[in-house]
Amino acid sequence: MALGRRRWIAVGIVGAGLGLLAASGIVLCEATIRVPRRPLRPIEIPGSRRRDVEIRAADGAVLRGWLFVPDRPNGSFVIALHGISDTRMGVLGLARLFAANHYAILTADNRGHGESGGDLVTYGIREADDVHRWVDWLYASEHPRSVFGMGESLGAGVLLQSLAVEHRFSAVIAECPFADFSRVAVDRVAQRIPVPASIGEVLAEPMVWSGFLYARARYAIDFRAASPEAAIATVDTPILLIHGLDDTNIYPVHSRILATSNPSYATLWLVPGAKHTAAFAAAPEEFPRRVLGWFADHSR
């Protein structure tokens, strides 16, 4: 009887442990798909005019942004997408760079961020079509010569996924993107567990997958489909991948995987000393030269 009791105790401990991991996954999922909204304040860029713009997404969510048009435009537009828990204000440094070089810039709040509608952040599953609709709006309203895209972190992953449904970008730039959401989710959860990395990854996997199962059952969102790697594998849009070698938020291996998935059209620039989305600060002369050169080389 003592042996049988010990077995039941062991089964109970294992069951409790699995239940705790599953519950943790649900909590993490809710925190991941609903992010705090940061307030915005009106911003002006010298030498350009700002307009408030908005479109409606496929699910009815209203998406909002700013369009900056320089006084001496070159006819090309850049869509700039921000990272997680940020707003369109997070890409104003890029907007100033592009405006100073005669590009018009659309800075939009991702769904679930800033002033855009949408209750849930879906890491590219719905956002990819949102980008497609912004490009539709630009062509219908502004009649651009070329449209380019640049995304930071989450915005980079969203931009790359949009290439599967939006083929009118002349070229795009993705700084510190994730290659696959399930992989980056395991990375991020493992970082929060105070154990060695190898053990953290083992513990993180069931938490992530329980969160994914919860999202699919509760919200009909399959996060396994959020994969920039799969999205760009067969596209012919020129892609410049930028990743800081000191990035501990999204590891550089993600951009290496992406570059390998489409070697014909993806170019990788790994930036020594740069942390997450900080290539401009780490390489203040080379960054604008590469970024502006990439767009200039692929202008229509």
Place of tokens 């972190």: 153
Whether 11 and 112 share a structural domain:
no
CA angle 237, 155, 221 (to 5 degrees): 100
Q: Lowest mean pLDDT: which of 20-24, 194-198, 268-272?
A: 20-24
Give the model's pLDDT for residue 110: 98
Give the model's pLDDT for residue 5: 58
Q: Considering the domain boundaries, does residue 119 fall inside one?
A: yes
Q: Are 79 and 147 in contact (CB under 8 A)?
A: yes
Helix ranges (DSSP H) in the chain:
2-33, 92-100, 127-141, 154-162, 181-192, 197-219, 228-232, 253-261, 279-282, 286-297
Q: Considering the domain boundaries, does residue 143 fall inside one?
A: yes
Give the model's pLDDT for residue 201: 86
Q: Listing from the earlier edge strand, what are the strands of the sheet with 171-175? A: 48-56, 62-70, 104-108, 76-81, 146-152, 171-175, 239-244, 266-271
Q: Considering the domain boundaries, does residue 87 fall inside one?
A: yes
pTM: 0.91
pLDDT digits (tens, 9 = 90+) for 26-37: 888 898 899 999
Q: What is the CATH number of the domain that holds 233?
A: 3.40.50.1820
Top-confidence residue, 21 or 269: 269
Q: Considering the domain boundaries, does residue 41 fall inside one?
A: no
Q: Considering the domain boundaries, does residue 223 fall inside one?
A: no
Going by C-beta distance under 8 Å and a sequence separation of 6 or more, which residues neighbour residue 286? none
DSSP element (H, E) containing 108: strand 104-108
Give the model's pLDDT for residue 10: 42
- How far is 125 from 296, CA to CA, in rounded Å? 30
pLDDT digits (tens, 9 = 90+) for 213-262: 999 999 999 999 999 999 999 999 999 999 999 999 999 999 999 999 99
Whether 77 and 192 share a structural domain:
no
Residue 22 predicted with pLDDT over 80: no
Enclosing domain of residue 238: 49-180+228-297
Whether 10 and 66 share a structural domain:
no
| pLDDT level of residue 200 (50, 70, 90 thresholds) | confident
pLDDT digits (tens, 9 = 90+) for 70-119: 999 999 999 999 999 999 999 999 999 999 999 999 999 999 999 999 98
Chain center to CA of 249: 13
Whether 104 and 196 share a structural domain:
no
233 phi and psi angles, rounded to 5 deg: -60, -35
Q: Considering the domain boundaries, does residue 39 fall inside one?
A: no
Residue 23 predicted with pLDDT over 90: no
Q: Considering the domain boundaries, does residue 251 fall inside one?
A: yes
Give the model's pLDDT for residue 20: 56
Residue 199 predicted with pLDDT over 80: yes
Whether 147 and 70 share a structural domain:
yes
Q: Considering the domain boundaries, does residue 43 fall inside one?
A: no
Whether 156 and 190 share a structural domain:
no
Whether 84 and 134 share a structural domain:
yes
Average pLDDT over residues 183-203: 87
Whether 85 and 155 share a structural domain:
yes
pLDDT digits (tens, 9 = 90+) for 35-45: 999 889 888 99
CA angle 191, 181, 15 (to 5 degrees): 60
pLDDT digits (tens, 9 = 90+) for 130-175: 999 999 999 999 999 999 999 999 999 999 999 999 999 999 999 9
Whether 133 and 9 share a structural domain:
no
Residue 4 predicted with pLDDT over 70: no
- The domain tally of the chain equals 2
24 in helix, strand or coil? helix
Q: Are 127 and 162 in contact (CB under 8 A)?
A: yes
